[in-house]
Amino acid sequence: MHELQTKVSPPHRSLCTDCGVSRTSNPKQCATACQFIQPDYKTFEIKIHGRARSSNKVDELHFGVFNQMHRGVLKKPSAGAQWSGITTRIAEKLLQSQRVQAVLTMQPDPLDMWRPMPVLIDRAEDMHKARGMRMGYAPLLSLLEPALKLGYKRLAVIGIPCQIYALRALEKSLNLETLFVIGTPCSDNTSTENFHQFLNLITPNPGEVTYLEFKANYHVELRFKSGKKKEIPFLQLPLSDLPKDFFPLTCRSCVDYTNSLSDITVGYMGGEGEQWLLSRNEKGDELLALVSDEVKLTAPQSHGKRQSAVLGFKKNVELAAGGLPLRKMPNWLRPIVGWLMPRIGPRGLEFARTRVEMKAIESIIHLRREMPSRVKNMVPSHFWELTKNYGLQPSALEIVRELESQNEALEP
Ligand SMILES: Cc1cc2nc3c(=O)[nH]c(=O)nc-3n(C[C@H](O)[C@H](O)[C@H](O)COP(=O)(O)OP(=O)(O)OC[C@H]3O[C@@H](n4cnc5c(N)ncnc54)[C@H](O)[C@@H]3O)c2cc1C
Ligand code: SF4
Ligand code: SF4
């Protein structure tokens, strides 16, 4: 197993989640590899999945290209995993079957279990050390060059969307024989330091917390070293007590919640208490087949209607981005709505669509306010399709890039 050797700070960039590219021998690659500069999802989708997402196929506009979508759970859930542990199990199987020589992923930092630490794992029996979710980001891709130096030609990478975008941009130059990409969705991430502040606000015993998850039942689940569990309704979280810059602009303006460039996405949003799996191409199908005996798959369900929840969210983001006080719910109403939401709010796939639309709205509003010149380069065209029903459409300046690329495509 190989860990990141350097703790040196990366060069400063204004929008950056330190995915690791700036720490490679050629940091200039950031200019073309970065999700926050000029991403080109359409071209990458065609290259990786054989086609771009289709607005004619149900849910592709929201979730990206997929061959198969399931709700799933490991028949024998793995203790210590974030959900049932499908991600770790797929990676174990890849190593056991020698389809890959190593898996690039994150482990908990030995000094702080909430801090992700990049590692290259080359033995299936070590994969369990990477289970679970850490809050924050760390330079995963800085271990690509060491992996190549070790002679690895067949790799798997597990990562969050901003890391996977950069990986796909570098993929060709790595000259690998095989690359499998297992992606998890990601949203509302922040630095590990900020996350500790949040933990301090939600529990008097932050040092005892071993697990935290924002669940599809509108609750945050906490688990403690004692074995005790606690669920806090979203509405009762002290979000208004967090500093204004708690979530960095990167994570407020991120445009790929569902990790659309992975071969398989393993999340929970559309899973109603189980996991949610999107196999996006043939490699994704191969990864899913590796665990087919061990995973119980069912068809995802969908309940409720998202429009009013998304519209209410948009109004609040507009107020918050403009520095105005949020429309706060009276305290007496919170427990009632908190009880009602898991019962009548959007659930299953409708919950996933709700979250994807909210994220698209949030990204556009925050970028327009804080870095308006980036909108035309950073916001992919499918985002505008997702937000148009909520009155968010691009201005003439914001669609310049799309017109330019259309013109380029028309040139002889
Ligand atoms: C910050 C963050 C936010 C997320 N938000 C959502 C969400 O909104 N909706 C949703 O459906 N899913 C989200 N996920 C994914 C979800 O939490 C689970 O990781 C996923 O469902 C896989 O569960 P599992 O039991 O299969 O994973 P496990 O088998 O426990 O494996 C988890 C894998 O994730 C890797 N990992 C953990 N933390 C990080 C990190 N900080 N950066 C990079 N890799 C990491 C681990 O190294 C491990 O390989 C998020 C993940 C992260 C890291
Ligand atoms: S490519 Fe990675 S390291 Fe470079 S600027 Fe973007 S997020 Fe930062
Ligand atoms: S929210 Fe987006 S930008 Fe932030 S860490 Fe997750 S994938 Fe990266």
- In order along its 412 residues, the chain shows pLDDT tens digits of 666 555 566 666 789 999 999 999 999 999 999 999 999 999 999 999 999 999 899 999 999 999 999 999 999 999 999 999 999 999 999 999 999 999 999 999 999 999 999 999 999 999 999 999 999 999 999 999 999 999 999 999 999 999 999 999 999 999 999 999 999 999 989 999 999 999 999 999 999 999 999 988 888 999 999 999 999 988 788 877 788 788 999 999 999 999 999 999 999 999 999 999 999 999 999 999 999 999 999 999 999 999 998 998 898 888 876 654 555 555 555 566 566 566 667 899 999 999 999 999 999 999 999 999 999 999 999 999 999 999 999 998 888 555 455 444 434 3
H/E stretch holding 72: strand 68-74
Protein residue closest via CA to atom 3 of ligand 3: 251
Q: Measure the CA dihedral 205/159/97/95, to 10°.
A: -60
**Which of 24, 39, 199 is closest to 118 using CA atoms?**
24
Q: Are 270 and 300 within 8 A, CB to CB?
A: yes
Calpha distance 99→228 (Å, rounded): 39
187 lines ligand 3 (CB under 6 A): yes
Angle among Cα 363, 37, 378 to the nearest 5 degrees reads 35
254 lines ligand 3 (CB under 6 A): yes
Q: What are the residue ranges spanned by the domains of the chain? A: 23-190+249-300, 308-412
Mutate to test the pocket of ligand 1, among 17, 75, 76, 82 (most ligand atoms within 8 A of CB): 82
Protein residue closest via CA to atom 8 of ligand 3: 162
Q: How far is the CA of 404 from the centre of ligand 1 (A)?
A: 36
Q: Which atom of ligand 2 is nearest to the CA of 17?
A: 7
Alpha helices in 222-268 (DSSP H): 249-252
Calpha distance 32→10 (Å, rounded): 17
Q: Which ligand is nearest to the CA of 247?
A: 3
Q: Which ligand is nearest to the CA of 20?
A: 2
Calpha distance 96→101 (Å, rounded): 9
Question: Which amino acid is residue 386, in one-letter code?
Answer: L
Q: How far is the CA of 256 from the centre of ligand 1 (A)?
A: 15
Q: Which atom of ligand 1 is nearest to the CA of 131?
A: 30
Q: Are 133 and 224 within 8 A, CB to CB?
A: no
Q: Are 184 and 64 within 8 A, CB to CB?
A: no
For residue 119, the cross-strand partners are 3, 105
Calpha distance 93→82 (Å, rounded): 18
Q: How far is the CA of 142 from the centre of ligand 3 (A)?
A: 17
Q: Which ligand is nearest to the CA of 169?
A: 2
17 lines ligand 2 (CB under 6 A): yes
